[in-house]
Amino acid sequence: MTAVALQIAIDGPAASGKTTVARRLAKRLGILYLDTGAMYRALAVLALQTRTDVDNEDALLRLCGLYRIDVRLEPAAPMGFRIFAGAQECDEATLQSNAVTAIVSTVAAHPRVRAALVQEQRRIAGCAAVVMAGRDIGTVVLPQAPLKIFLTASVDARVSRRRGQLAAAGVDISVHRLREEIEERDRLDRTRRVSPLVPADDALILDSSALDAEQVVDAICAFVPEARL
Ligand code: DC
């Protein structure tokens, strides 16, 4: 019997701490990590650069065909993986810029765009053990993953975390604007027709409002031995 590589799905709303937790968890377990939001963001970068209408699904799909969104999982890279839009490598400041954040939920709402990126995400997960963070990893991308975490946190906790992350990446934004933006992205992610943000039936729901990243990783690690069986 061939052993299937361990897959851990971490889903949750914007700024719930998924990416920090997923990356630290992967490091602790010595496995790879991918933040799938970066793939939707890379496509949003391309849309901005080519002045593509983000409501036009056909045009976005053409972009995906012209410039492949390619990820390479490299734990030593600044984000834990490298991501390319065609020949261009995208860095964290570009992916997290206000302009990209403003349009990414619209980009990610198109079913055929999602299908193209999900196919790539599954291919990656088939190659090696991985912790994958996103919105639909447990429900759609890797429904067979043996460990699924749905990470939540209060809006206040998420605003304050996101502010810290953005400041570290050199992006300045007011608390008021950040709150509006997070609430709007929650609404768009939760109400979209395709792959809305919902916990998988078999996901463990973890509220991280009062926990730091290490505590969340500790809590998840307690379930890993079972998932490895
Ligand atoms: O996690 P993030 O903020 O970088 O995600 C950016 C956007 O991409 C977010 O608005 C929802 C979308 N997304 C998604 O629809 N499915 C995923 N698996 C990951 C992100």
For the chain, what percent of residues have pLDDT higher than 70? Answer: 97
The answer as to whether 225 is a domain residue is no
CA 106/CA 119 separation, integer angstroms: 19
Average pLDDT over residues 183-201: 90
> Which residues have any ligand 1 atom within 6 Å of their CB?
14, 36-37, 40-41, 104-105, 108, 134-137, 185, 189
Using DSSP's 3-state secondary structure scheme, residue 8 falls into strand
- Please tell me the residue having the least CA distance from ligand 1 atom 20: 37
**Considering the domain boundaries, does residue 207 fall inside one?**
yes
Instruction: Print the domain residue range for 78.
Output: 4-216
Q: Tell me whether residue 228 is in a domain.
A: no
Residue 3 Cα to ligand 1 midpoint, Å, equals: 30
Residue indicated by tokens 């749905």: 150
Q: Which pLDDT does position 3 carry in this prediction?
A: 60
Q: Which amino acid is at 12?
A: G
Write down how long the chain is.
Answer: 229
pLDDT (tens digit, 9 = 90+) per residue, 143-175?
999 999 999 999 999 999 888 877 887 777 889
State the CATH number of the domain containing residue 33: 3.40.50.300
> What pLDDT does residue 170 have?
79
Name the average pLDDT for the chain. 93
Does residue 203 have a pLDDT over 60? yes
CA-nearest of 25, 31, 75, 35 to 223 is 25
What total of structural domains would you count in the chain? Answer: 1
In which band, very low, low, confident or very high, does the pLDDT at 185 lie, cut at 50, 70 and 90?
confident
The reported pTM is: 0.92
Test site for ligand 1: of 104, 150, 159, most ligand atoms within 8 A of the Cβ: 104
Of all protein residues, whose CA lies closest to atom 3 belonging to ligand 1?
14
Measured CA distances, 8 to 2, 17, 35, 156, 215 (Å): 18, 15, 12, 27, 17
Provide the sign of the torsion angle of the four alpha carbons 198, 131, 78, 27, taken in this order: positive
35 close to 79: Cβ distance less than 8 angstroms: yes
pLDDT score of 192: 86
Closest CA to 224 of 2, 9, 3: 9
Structure confidence at residue 52 as a pLDDT band (50, 70, 90): very high
Q: Given ligand 1 and candidates 40, 43, 150, which is best to mutate, with the most ligand atoms within 8 Å of its CB?
A: 40
Q: What share of the chain has pLDDT > 90, as a percent? A: 79
Q: Is the pLDDT score of 1 beyond 80? A: no
Residue nearest to atom 13 of ligand 1 (CA): 37
Contact status, residue 135 vs residue 7, Cβ threshold 8 Å: no
Average pLDDT over residues 105-118: 96
Q: Which pLDDT score is estimated for 43?
A: 98
CA of 37 to the centre of ligand 1 (A): 4
pLDDT in tens, 209-228: 999 999 999 999 999 877 77
**What is the model's pLDDT at position 188?**
87
Mean pLDDT across the stretch 52-62?
98
The residue whose CA is least distant from atom 4 of ligand 1 is 37
Q: Whose CA is nearest to atom 5 of ligand 1?
A: 37
Q: Which atom of ligand 1 is nearest to the CA of 95?
A: 4
Task: Give the nearest ligand 1 atom to 185 CA.
Answer: 10
What own/partner pairs with CB < 8 Å and gap ≥ 24 does 178-185 have? Answer: 179/155, 181/101, 181/102, 182/13, 182/14, 182/15, 182/155, 182/158, 183/155, 184/105, 185/13, 185/14, 185/101, 185/105
